[in-house]
């Protein structure tokens, strides 16, 4: 490497981050401006705004979608419709990108020669943090400019964009800190996502339970609601995000100088008894590798859908007594909330996204293990590539089914506690109904594993997250029918409120099997180290 190594490290980090950063920025800006542009058609007159505000005043609505502010303006309505979604998008992407660029690169050995020179771990880390900060800041600037250009007040646009930017930066700092504590990328990513999940639950509980409103001060999501953009424009709550992000970033830099290269502060205890369970076959080893991530995903999905079940009686009773509000909820994109089964069907449709993310994450971890050389001995032995991949895919599919069952049981348990009319078999039917969409995500990730292993995460999320965004966008702009029908979500029946669309289920499962087969074929033919 010629010249100073520091600037070269910065340029490499920027090069690795630029494409996903542009995609995230485009989604953030596009979704926000789309809602602003369709505000008049979605909400309508002043009477509809007042009715929508009354609907959103229900504790269940506040818990699910946040506390509404300034619904009589396009900016306020946009914050309510997209604020939480975009905050989750930016924080999740920031966490995943940071652990990939830092702990992931160090774990794979790509930093060994770099850190053997003049640069220190803290020096390399601060340069990656600077690149992530620049990417988040650019997204915030573009969002503020787009909202102001679309006609919303500049003060509210700037405050909303600043809040989302700071939430993303806090996630980056938390991921950097976790990368110093845990010796693996998977451990750092899991800890950071758990932190973000607890923050989201704190926001939901704080919005829904007045006695626990103080939970909204907990970062990274709660303070965003307290800013009340387009109405009060409070900047003070963002101080909690600034201080927390700065503290975590400083802690990460301090810890980076107090650990060995390639290691974390946490280490496996020496001299422990061998753990040889589930090592007797390729399939058993795939199950062993999945159990710990599955437990984490089950805890997060179970907690969320337990809360969904606990809210079923409050929301359905309110809408049954106020049919006008049910109509307005449908116009705002939340149709079918008036009955327990319709409520479950509406919320279960979202379940395909986290299950698809789980499946994609498992196959991305498989690709990372191969890239790091941890599968070399398996490939050198009497184990075919097809057998190895088939075991991983089959285990992932089983894990997806387990997550669907967890969501169904959690929703049923919550509904049972509050006396909601949602039998266990209905909850199971609603959760299983979305599995074909999630399996399309697993199939896409398998195809990427065979043809483009560096893009497993991106391609794997196209049928689920991409399909959901396509459907929402097509519905919002009243696009031609065929555009919306490109999304697999357009073919889901509202189970358990209605009967499954068996034809669509068969087609999606058939496509999933065919795409998985193509991915397996490609995996068998490509160079294992190419």
Angle at 437 between CA 436 and CA 442, to 5 degrees: 90
Give pLDDT tens digits for 242-291.
999 999 999 999 999 888 877 788 876 665 666 667 777 888 888 988 99
Instruction: Give the per-residue pLDDT at 498.
Output: 87
Residue 237, number of CB atoms within 10 A of its CB: 19
Mean pLDDT, rounded, of the chain? 86
Distances (CA, A) of 242 to 223, 233, 248, 434: 11, 17, 10, 39
Q: Distance between CA atoms of 16 and 294, rounded to whole angstroms?
A: 29
Place of tokens 């078999």: 425
In the numeric block, which tokens belong to residue 387? 């057998």
CB 424 within 8 A of CB 411: no
Residue 502, number of CB atoms within 10 A of its CB: 9
Give the pTM: 0.83
Q: What is the pLDDT averaged over residues 184-202? A: 89
Closest to 240 (Cα-Cα) out of 163, 159, 176: 163
Give pLDDT tens digits for 386-396.
888 899 999 99
Q: Is the peptide bond before 496 cis (omega within 30 degrees of 0)?
A: yes
Q: Distance between CA atoms of 174 and 188, rounded to whole angstroms?
A: 9
CB 298 within 8 A of CB 403: yes
Residue 325: φ, ψ to 5°: -70, -35
Give pLDDT tens digits for 157-184.
999 999 999 999 999 999 999 999 998 8
Residue 402, Cβ density class (10 Å: 0-12 exposed, 13-18 middle, ≥19 buried)? middle
Q: Distance between CA atoms of 24 and 243, rounded to whole angstroms?
A: 25
pLDDT confidence of 61, banded at 50, 70, 90?
Answer: confident
Q: Ramachandran region of residue 512, left (φ > 0), alpha (ψ -120 to 50) or beta?
A: alpha
Give pLDDT tens digits for 398-450.
999 999 999 999 999 999 998 888 999 999 999 999 999 999 999 999 999 98
CB 259 within 8 A of CB 265: yes
In the 8-state DSSP scheme, what is residue 219? Answer: T
In the numeric block, which tokens belong to residue 527? 């160079």
Which positions ≥6 away from 260 have C-beta within 8 Å? none
Proportion of the chain above pLDDT 70, given as a percent: 88
Residue ranges with strand state E in 169-280 = none
Distances (CA, A) of 202 to 225, 327, 403, 420: 12, 30, 22, 24
Which positions ≥6 away from 448 have C-beta within 8 Å? 363, 455, 456, 458, 459, 460, 519
Q: Distance between CA atoms of 487 and 481, rounded to whole angstroms?
A: 11
Closest to 43 (Cα-Cα) out of 64, 82, 75, 74: 74
Q: What is the pLDDT averaged over residues 205-224? A: 88
């Amino acid at each position: 490497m010629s010249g100073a190594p520091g600037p070269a490290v910065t340029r490499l980090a920027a090069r690795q981050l630029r494409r996903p950063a542009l995609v995230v920025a485009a989604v953030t800006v596009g979704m926000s401006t789309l809602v602003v542009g369709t505000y008049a058609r979605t909400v309508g007159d002043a009477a509809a705004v007042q009715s929508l505000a009354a609907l959103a005043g229900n504790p269940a609505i506040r818990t699910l979608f946040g506390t509404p502010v300034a619904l009589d303006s396009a900016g306020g309505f946009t914050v309510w419709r997209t604020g939480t979604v975009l905050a989750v998008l930016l924080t999740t992407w920031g966490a995943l990108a940071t652990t990939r660029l830092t702990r992931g690169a160090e774990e794979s050995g790509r930093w060994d020669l770099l850190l053997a020179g003049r640069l220190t771990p803290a020096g390399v880390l601060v340069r990656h943090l600077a690149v992530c900060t620049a990417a988040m800041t650019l997204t915030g600037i573009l969002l503020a400019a787009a909202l102001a250009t679309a006609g919303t007040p500049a003060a509210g646009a700037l405050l909303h964009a600043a809040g989302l930017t700071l939430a993303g930066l806090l996630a980056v700092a938390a991921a950097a800190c976790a990368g110093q504590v845990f010796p693996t990328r998977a451990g750092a990513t899991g800890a950071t996502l758990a932190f973000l999940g607890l923050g989201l639950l704190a926001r939901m509980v704080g919005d829904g339970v007045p006695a626990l409103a103080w939970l909204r001060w907990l970062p990274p999501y709660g303070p965003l609601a307290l800013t009340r953009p387009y109405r009060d424009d409070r900047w003070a709550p963002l101080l909690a995000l600034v201080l927390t992000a700065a503290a975590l970033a400083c802690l990460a830099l301090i810890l980076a100088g107090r650990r060995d290269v390639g290691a974390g502060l946490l280490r496996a205890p020496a001299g422990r008894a061998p753990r040889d369970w589930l090592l007797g076959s390729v399939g058993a080893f795939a199950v062993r590798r999945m159990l710990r991530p599955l437990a984490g995903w089950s805890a997060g999905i179970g907690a969320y859908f337990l809360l969904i079940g606990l809210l079923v009686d409050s929301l359905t009773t309110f809408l049954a007594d106020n049919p006008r509000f049910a109509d307005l909820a449908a116009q705002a994109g939340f149709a079918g909330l008036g009955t327990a089964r319709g409520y479950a069907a509406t919320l279960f449709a979202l379940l395909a996204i986290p299950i698809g993310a789980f499946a994609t994450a498992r196959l991305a971890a498989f690709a990372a293990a191969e890239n790091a050389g941890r599968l070399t001995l398996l490939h050198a032995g009497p184990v075919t590539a097809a057998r190895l991949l088939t075991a991983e895919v089959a285990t992932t599919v089983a894990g997806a089914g387990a997550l669907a069952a967890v969501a169904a049981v959690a929703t049923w348990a919550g509904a049972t506690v509050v006396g909601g009319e949602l039998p266990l078999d209905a909850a199971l039917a609603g959760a299983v109904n979305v599995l074909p969409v999630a399996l399309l995500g697993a199939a896409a990730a398998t195809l990427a594993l065979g043809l483009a292993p560096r893009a497993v995460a991106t391609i794997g999320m196209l049928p689920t997250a991409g399909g959901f965004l396509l459907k929402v966008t097509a519905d919002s702009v009243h696009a031609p029918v065929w555009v919306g029908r490109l999304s697999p979500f357009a073919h889901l029946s509202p189970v358990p409120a209605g009967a499954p669309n068996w034809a669509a289920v068969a087609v999606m499962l058939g496509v999933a099997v065919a795409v998985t087969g193509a991915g397996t074929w490609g995996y068998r033919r490509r160079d294992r180290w190419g």
